[in-house]
Structure formats: C-alpha cells, structure tokens
Chain A
Amino acid sequence: ELKVEQNPLFLSMQEGKNYTIYCNYSTTSDRLYWYRQDPGKSLESLFVLLSNGAVKQEGRLMASLDTKARLSTLHITAAVHDLSATYFCAVGPFSGGYNKLIFGAGTRLAVHP
C-alpha cells in the first residue's frame, strides 16, 4: 500500500527558532510537492521537487528531496507567527497514467512568541 508519512504531526515552535518537518514515502514517485493550508482554506503550493538532491528555498522555508531514501524535508528558519498553518507533503503521479497525488496527514505548525 502506498504511504506518505509526515512527522511530527503537531509542532509548537517559538518565534526565531529553526525546525524541520520530515516526509517519508513508500514507493517511487516522479515528484514531491509541499503545500500549505490555512484553517478552512484550500491548498497553496509551496514547492515542487523533481529530482534527487533537489533543493528549493522561498523566504524562511527550504525543501529538499532524497529519492534514494524516499525522504523530503521542509526546513523552517527563524520561524515567525505568519508561518502558522498546516503543511502537507504529497507524492505523485504514479504508473497507471493518471495524475493522482497521495498526501501525508499534515503537520500542524503553531508559532508563538
């Protein structure tokens, strides 16, 4: 069974601190995505990682991909309150010829003073 596991599921961070969210997946996939979701809202695309060793950065967030370990990380640098949200990783597509994404359960991030 295809699985995408994120940890931690809940993360309470102090402003200014650094932390990393981990995303493990159980099968080969062409791409890995990171999304942000604010309460009651839709998914906002953050990063698309296409190949082994890919690293992308946007502001205080940096994502990386290790396809051999089937692991992606989302690193948060000097957290600020505006980063409070739920972060999802997703993998896909897979063999079968259609664009299906499998999501992790999400990491709920709360940044406090």
Chain B
Amino acid sequence: DAGVTQSPTHLIKTRGQQVTLRCSPISGHKSVSWYQQVLGQGPQFIFQYYEKEERGRGNFPDRFSARQFPNYSSELNVNALLLGDSALYLCASSWDRVFDEQFFGPGTRLTVL
C-alpha cells in the first residue's frame, strides 16, 4: 500500500509570494495534519483536518491556511512568504481524529529567498 505522498518535493519562492503544498493520505485515513520543521528543530504542529473540517490549529499566523477535500487529500497554503517560512513541511495522516498513530510523508522542502 502507498504511504503518505506529498508534492512538490522541493520548492523555491521569493518573499511575498504565495505557495500551495499538497498531501495525499494513506488510503482509508480520514485525518491529515501538517507540521513545519525548521532546520535543526523538531516539527511544530500547524493544523489537523478531519472529515474536511479543521479540528486543531497550532500557533501560526493567519497567513497559513489549509483545506481538506472529499477524497481526504489536503492542501496547505502560505501567503506573503517570509524568509522564516523556509522549512520542511510534513504531512501526516491517521485513521481517526484523536488517538490513532500518525504516519508521516516525505515532506516538501520550501526555500524562501
């Protein structure tokens, strides 16, 4: 079975631009969470979506938004990019909303110049 997939693998943007990252969960998983991992740090929780609704949000500005589609795939959007947004963005999927183990995708490396 395919694991969590993310696209694109790498992305280079300039300050002020907007970016959209995509994630496809493991088949049958209804929950998608997004994490930001800045170089040299642990991942930080951004959002969780379950059954197409936002269920949790981390301490990130409103420039960060996400959505989940009927097929449970998800997009993360970041507007007005800052240099500090450069990071590895990880998507994780799980079967249920709260207690199921999360499985992480390969990540999207975003570089903001």
- Could you tell me which residues of chain A, from 3 to 32, have a CB within 8 Å of some CB in chain B? 4, 30-31
Query: Assuming A99-B33, A99-B97, A100-B33, is B42 touching A90 (CB within 8 A)?
Result: yes
Contact of B44 among A33, A93, A103 (CB under 8 A): A103
Query: Assuming A97-B97, A98-B48, is B90 touching A103 (CB within 8 A)?
Result: no
Chain A residue at smallest Cβ distance from B33: A99
Q: Do B42 and A106 touch (CB < 8 A)?
A: yes
Chain B residue at smallest Cβ distance from A88: B42
Q: Do A103 and B43 touch (CB < 8 A)?
A: yes
By size class, the interface of chain B is 20 to 34
By size class, the interface of chain A is 20 to 34
**Distance, CA A45 to CA B41, complexed state (A):** 17
CB distance from B78 to the nearest CB of A (A): 19
Q: Determine, out of B12-20, B61-69, B79-87, B101-109, the stretch whose residues face the partner at the interface.
A: B101-109
**Distance, CA A45 to CA B43, complexed state (A):** 14
Query: Assuming A43-B90, A105-B42, A106-B41, is B104 touching A98 (CB within 8 A)?
Result: no
**Distance, CA A48 to CA B102, complexed state (A):** 11
B15-47 toward A: CB 8 Å interface, digit per residue (1/0)?
000000000000000010101000001111100
Q: Which residues of chain A have a CB within 8 Å of any CB of chain B?
A: 4, 30-31, 33, 35, 40-43, 45, 48, 88, 90, 93, 96-106
Q: 29 pairs across A/B with beta carbons < 8 Å?
A: A31-B99, A35-B104, A40-B109, A43-B43, A43-B90, A45-B101, A45-B103, A48-B101, A93-B98, A93-B99, A96-B56, A97-B55, A97-B56, A97-B98, A98-B56, A98-B97, A98-B98, A99-B31, A99-B55, A99-B102, A100-B33, A101-B33, A101-B43, A102-B45, A103-B42, A103-B44, A104-B42, A105-B41, A105-B42
